[in-house]
Structure formats: structure tokens, C-alpha cells
Structure 1
Amino acid sequence: MSSSSHGSQSPAQLRQAIRRGEWNKETSGLAPGFVQVNLVILPASDASDFHRFCQNNPKPCPLIAISEAGNPHVTALGADLDIRTDVPRYRVFHHGELVAEPNDVKDIWRDDLVTFAIGCSFTFEHSLIENGIAIRHIEQNRNVPMYRTTIPTTPAGNFHGPLVVSMRPMKAADAIRAIQITSRFPGVHGAPVHIGDPALIGIKNLAQPDYGDAVDVQPDELPVFWACGVTPQAALAKARPAVCITHAPGHMLLTDLRNSDYSIF
């Protein structure tokens, strides 16, 4: 599937292409108008503590859906959706260590695995674009830059760690408008958590993101930071569960849910 043709594809068509191995890149800009989600997949023995971690940290971890243990078909997200195959790239961790980044997880799926679908800022990007606000990483065909901050999350059990943020550079007027627009979407991170000096939240160098790709920031632009669904991956590194599966940063699960379902006004 070429980059020129993917824009008109429905989420179901895109998931099928991902399942066939025809798309293994980032998903920013795909399926405009539909919700994209981050994934965290854990054994049932760890699921209760992680659920509380999400409840304690709704800004970076807004829960969209939770599966039954062992069930890879979360029909609330899409009738034909298969958690094991429908993400372009996964990450597999053993005791907190990254051991693989496969394109599907069929061979390692277990009957005790619970899937958490967490809201993603890619969901509100379409609304920003509709309002004339350019998204730099989409313009430059890159993954969104993401950074660990010095802002702590609220722990739950063994799950704790720093808030991770995504960054989009904007002129001041666009940043103000972006606050207004994204405030309508609290279920997918909502308004920014910080604007301006990255050092105030512990980011030393915008050109060296912890996840994703660096993007150009012009002299007349402000960096605008949103809470990011990669935050759980930082907490998982601290908790070190025996097994954990996530999406690779920027490689989201495309759902059949509409952005408008998550707009509060």
C-alpha cells in the first residue's frame, strides 16, 4: 500500500493491509476522523495494578477499552479487529527488557493476556489539521517526537515512572487555538501539559527525543507538549513484569471509533 493511496482507506481496510504485512510504518495521519489507540498487553496477574495506574494517571493513560483475558478480539474497537496482528509493529518485553519488535504476536499469544487500549494524540491531529494548524511530523513524514520528563506519575503497585510527552511546534496563535481544540478531547489526552521552555519539564535537547523522530522547530515557534500514551512503557520498564507487549511508539492500533465520540463539545 503506497503512501499516496492510504489516505482514503477505512480503518478496517487499513487493519487488513497491516495484517497482510503491507503497512509497517507509523500511523500518524491515517484514517482521519477515527480514533487511534496505544496498546499495553499484560498477564492477568499484573492487570489490576496497571488498571489502577491508568485510573491514577488519566491524562497520559486515558482508557478506551479493556479486553477479557486471552481474548484478542476487542469488538468495542472494531468488529474484525485482532489485537495479535493489526498493529504495524509491536514491542515485546521480558522483565522490563525489550526482546523483540515483531509485526505480529500470534506465536507468543497466551490465554491469560489482558489488553488495555489507551487514547492517543494522533486522534486529535485531524481536528488540528481541519482548523488549519500544520502538524510538523506529518509534513516531514516522520514519527512524532516524544520525551521523558521530570514530571512523576502517580504510582500503583509496581507501576511508576516519568510522564512522557509528545511535542508539536507551533506559532503562538496556533498554540492557543490548539489548546482550545484539544481541550475538547479529554479521552485522548486533552489539552497540552506544557508550552515553551523544555528545560522546565526536564527535557534537555529537543533534537534528541527519547522516542520517535526529531522535527524542525523554527525560531518563531513554541514547542507544545501533550501527555503521551508511551508513558505506560516507561512505567513498565520500572515494574518489569515477566511479559509485556505494547505497540512500537508511533505504530498505533486503528479503531472504528469516531473522534466525534470523544469530543465533549
Structure 2
Amino acid sequence: MLESTVWLFGMCLMLGSIVGVMAGLLGIGGGLLVVPALLWLLPKANVSSDIVMQIALATSLASIVLTSGSSAFNHFKLGNVDFYLIKGLVPGVVLGGISGSFIAELIPSEYLPKIFSVIVLMLAVQMFISIKVKSTRQMPGLLGCSISGGIIGTVSSLAGIGGGSLTVPYLSMHGVEMRKAIGSASLCGTMIAISGMIGFVFHGLSVEHLPEFSVGYVYLPALIGIVSTSMLTTRVGAFLAFKLPTRTLKKVFALFLVLVGSKMFFG
């Protein structure tokens, strides 16, 4: 048991280094990488298949709290966080994050990847279009932003992600400059992850036969391994996002969405 836990910790150290760069570069919390990776790693560390999906989602959200928070801080120092945009989205994403953790207890987990993958692929198409067509659509009012934030928060919590893969295209679609969209999405992702993580911890407290070193559904060896390296490498991604031109960032983000969406749909 101890050997498998140490092995998992080492694998999560490597995973975290990749997640940090992606978080800083694309404004994502890394859940699109963490959840599939944990679904493969956790059973090898003797985690029961009955609860592996919940543990993967909860641990992913917990890691995003720190990874996205670190990414947001680095983007804030570079002037890429727009608090006016965040003010409209935060109430919705927080409520959505909490709602998603409750809904996850009701919906069969095998349906979630299919639903989310379709959304991701649609967003990828929109992002490719926006590379050539400049959006003139204005951001909606407070109510519209709150509703949009609620949808983003709910879907993100259900999928164990910070919401950058939804928030960045949404902001870009409304004419927000790509660097501002990535930096602002990092902070929104932190809010989503906090609310979603609290919900999963709450539900996990009443579950028996959780693996040792768990807090609710959050598995600490995996969490510590991921954040130990991801918090260090977010600054590398943020620096790349600051240097790369907007068109290049959009291409990278769109290709990333296509790869992840296709993998989730067919896998």
C-alpha cells in the first residue's frame, strides 16, 4: 500500500509540472489533464473503482484552487486580470460550482464526459472562427454575466475543471483581448474550484472505505504531488502567454480544446 502511494505521489509530481505550464499559458486550472490522469493512476494505487471518479473530480478541483490561484497571481502582476469582468461572473460561477458537486451525485458519471466533450468541441470551433473574425459582441449586463457564470461553474464542477476551457472562449467571444481573458479566467477558475471542492468534501465525509489520507473525496497524496510542481511552473506559462501574439494563443487554445474534446468523446 505504501509503495503504491509513493509511486502515485511521484507520478503526480510529473503531472503537476505539465499542469502548471498549461494553467499559466491557457488560463485553465489543469482539470482537463488531471481528471483523465487520475482516472488512470488511482486504480493502480488501490483506490476502489466505485469511488474513483468522485476522488478524481474532487482532487482535481482541490489542485485547481492552488494552481489557478498561482496562475491568477502571476497574470495579475503582468496586468492581465480584469476585475470588472470578474465582478459580473463570480456570483454565478460560485453558485454553479456548488451546484455541480451536488448534481454529480445524481448523474451517472459515464454520461458526463460525453456531454462536456460536445461543449468543448463547439467552443473549439468558435475559437478557430474568432482567429479570423474579430468579435464586436459586447459583454452582457450583470444578470447575463451571472447566468453565464452559473452555467460555466456548474459544467466545470461536474467535469472537475476550473472552467478556463469555458471562460476563455466565452470572454474572447465577447471581444475581450486574449491575455485579459486568460488572466481573468484563472481567477474565476479559482472561485469555481473552491466552491466545487467544498461540495465534494462535504459529500465524501459520509462515505465509508475511502483511501487513507483522504479528506472527503480529496486524496491528499495526489493533491500534494500535483500542486508541489504546478505552482512553480505556472509562472513559465504566464510568461509565455505574455510573450506570444494573440493569434498564436488562440490557435494553441483551439487545438488544445479539439484534442481534449475528441479524447473525452471517444475515450
Smaller-chain TM-score range? under 0.3
Output the TM-score relative to the length of structure 1.
0.27
- Looking at secondary structure, tell me which structure has more strand per residue: 1
Output the TM-score relative to the length of structure 2.
0.27
Q: Which has the higher contact order (CA 8 A, sep 6+)?
A: 2
